[in-house]
Amino acid sequence: MKQQQRFIVALVASAAVLILWNYLFPPVKPPQPDANANSQAVAQASPQPTSQATPQPTATATATPAPVQASASPTPTPESVPPRKLHVVTPLYEATFDSRGAVATSWIVNRVQRSDGSWRELYAADSTRANPKRLELIPTPPAGVAPEQLFRPFQIVTGDAAIDAVLSGRDFKVTGADKETGDATLNVPSGS
């Protein structure tokens, strides 16, 4: 009975914190476009019928700030960094990272530690004793689908399609590898 009372008190306290937080720090609302500025711009742009005999006075526009236009979407620049693959090999896993989009293209789990402290080799579900296959966590893309069209592990996503396209198509610079060009392999020994 005591645990149930503590649980109920914890739920009430959590709800109170969430409600109080939203009351003290309300979420920021996005700015709404000014409807008056748009209607005035439309009124000025449309021609007004005038008669030959009596000229009609035209309405003068008041100074209203125009909505800020979104900046032009970024355009890809020519690549100055050559594409590379970085292979990270440890006793537990092997991972391959591609500098194009800075994503993981392969992640193979070799072994895991059991609860008793011993190690167990891992294999894919479709492997057999005669044909053991290593456990690959990142599937290969289907034929005919560009890697830029897929969501990959460690992919940077901003929510803006133009920026996401630039980031997924950009070759990022790999530093800290044994060589500055071409594919590189980092061997991480056990205990590191």
pTM: 0.51
Quote the mean pLDDT of the chain. 74
Query: In the chain, where are the structural domains located?
Result: 85-187
pLDDT in tens, 52-109: 555 554 444 444 444 444 444 454 454 566 778 888 888 888 988 888 778 888 888 9
d(CA 70, CA 106): 38
Q: Is the alpha carbon torsion for 97, 171, 101, 142 positive or negative?
A: negative
Question: Which residues lie below 8 Å from residue 141, measured CB to CB, with a gap of 6+?
Answer: 147, 150
d(CA 86, CA 172): 12
pLDDT in tens, 155-186: 788 888 888 878 777 777 777 666 666 787 88
In three-state secondary structure terms, 135 is strand
